[in-house]
Amino acid sequence: MRSARPAAIAAVFAAGLAFDHAAAATISECHALADAAARLACYDAATGLKGGSAGTAATPSAEPTAGSTAAAPASAPGKAAATGATANAAEGAPARPSLLGERWALDPAVGDRDFDLRYHNPSYIIGRWSNKPNDSPTSPTLGGLPQPVPLDDVEAKFQFSFKARLWEAESRKYAVWAAYTQQSNWQILNEDLSRPFRETDYQPELIFTYRPDLEYGGVRWRLLNLGLVHQSNGRGEPLSRSWNRVYAQFGFEHDNFALLVRPWYRFNESSDKDDNPDIATYYGYGDIVALYRTDRGHTFTLTGRGNVRKGKGSVEFEWSTPPILGPFKGYFQVFSGYGESLIDYNWNQTTVGVGLSLNDLL
């Protein structure tokens, strides 16, 4: 046993010398490498250190590696994280919705970019009472009926309205919409006349939309519409009524309040084709709409239009509640003045209606 021990020690010593020689040869090869990162990794491998290239973070080096950046102070990561958290919190904070932005898809995050179909004017169905039904409609060029029609003072009135976006710029600064509104008055309780539809008005529109996005004193100018609109009742003489207009509509908002100002110009027609040449006397040259929506979802709308010089026009008040029956809201409407429908453009009356609506103007 004593003779074997020196031989084993000699073998181990010889193996160590061989390892040292091999390591020295490898290290000399590492020394020849020009790239600092590769040279350091080679040293780690040659000497048996673990970590590979990860060791560069723990091993000091006099030479900066290619593409490396100076280390930030210890407080910088915490400060950057805090800044990022603040930015994310601000980004995720719920902003008050824009009444005009939602209805007209003015904001980049609202609506489909390829095609958008949405509400236009209010859509509703109501039971409506009139203090003075127009049982003998007339116009200066077509005259009137041979005799009055016995109308009920209570009837059903409904309207549906929608618009579709035909084109928009990538920024949504500009867009083109097509819109359609139809309003009907139905003598639903009038058995003597076989419950007829007394009047149905058709109103297609083509609208070019521009988003100004200007603000002054907290009031934002969000919308400019340039529209071409036709309205008619599709009836024969002497009850035919129609007109064509071009308008500019300016939309402003502040928090839950919106204001729409819309002057218009009527295209003149030849005297032999004009069913209602004096329509601007009663409808005037524009309308103004004020709308307020409470945080609980009640919407109040006041619309006025008319001809100031002639002292004629109309005012309409609408109130809708939050949804009470599926998507339907409670709806209340009061109208007073001229032109509740096209056949009544020159007829003054007051009406009151109660029912359900799908949407408001905004």
Residues 209 and 156 occupy one common structural domain: yes
In a domain, 78, yes or no: no
In a domain, 209, yes or no: yes
Rounded distance, CA 150 to CA 57, Å?
A: 96
What confidence score (pLDDT) does residue 108 get? 74
Name residues whose C-beta falls within 8 Å of residue 248's C-beta, 6 or more positions apart in sequence.
Answer: 224, 225, 226, 227, 262, 263, 264
In a domain, 224, yes or no: yes
Residues 170 and 241 occupy one common structural domain: yes
Report percent pLDDT > 70 for the chain: 74
Per the annotation, the verdict on 230 as an active-site residue is yes
Average confidence (pLDDT) over 91-110: 73
In a domain, 74, yes or no: no
What confidence score (pLDDT) does residue 34 get? 66
In a domain, 190, yes or no: yes
Residue-number span of the structural domain to which 26 is assigned: 1-64
What confidence score (pLDDT) does residue 193 get? 95
Which residue is associated with the tokens 């600092």? 36
What confidence score (pLDDT) does residue 30 get? 66
Domain count, the chain: 2
Q: Is the pLDDT assigned to residue 228 strictly greater than 80?
A: yes
> What is the per-residue pLDDT across 153-188, written as a single tens digit (0 to 9) for each?
999 999 999 999 999 998 889 999 999 999 999 999
In a domain, 201, yes or no: yes
What confidence score (pLDDT) does residue 168 get? 93
- Reduced to 3 states (helix: H, G, I; strand: E, B; else coil), residue 268 is coil
Residues 57 and 104 occupy one common structural domain: no
Residues 119 and 54 occupy one common structural domain: no
In a domain, 94, yes or no: no
Question: 245-260 as b/e, with b when 16 or more CB fall inside 10 Å?
Answer: bebebebbbeeeebbb
In a domain, 82, yes or no: no
Residues 120 and 226 occupy one common structural domain: yes
Q: Is the pLDDT assigned to residue 205 strictly greater than 80?
A: yes
What confidence score (pLDDT) does residue 273 get? 87
Parallel/antiparallel/unpaired status of strands 116-119 and 328-338: unpaired
Last residue of a domain, one of 16, 38, 64: 64
Rounded distance, CA 290 to CA 301, Å?
A: 6
From the list 68, 136, 194, 230, the catalytic residue is 230
What confidence score (pLDDT) does residue 189 get? 97
Residues 254 and 327 occupy one common structural domain: yes
Helices 4-31 + 36-47 axis angle, to 10: 180
Per the annotation, the verdict on 61 as an active-site residue is no
Strand partners, 5: none
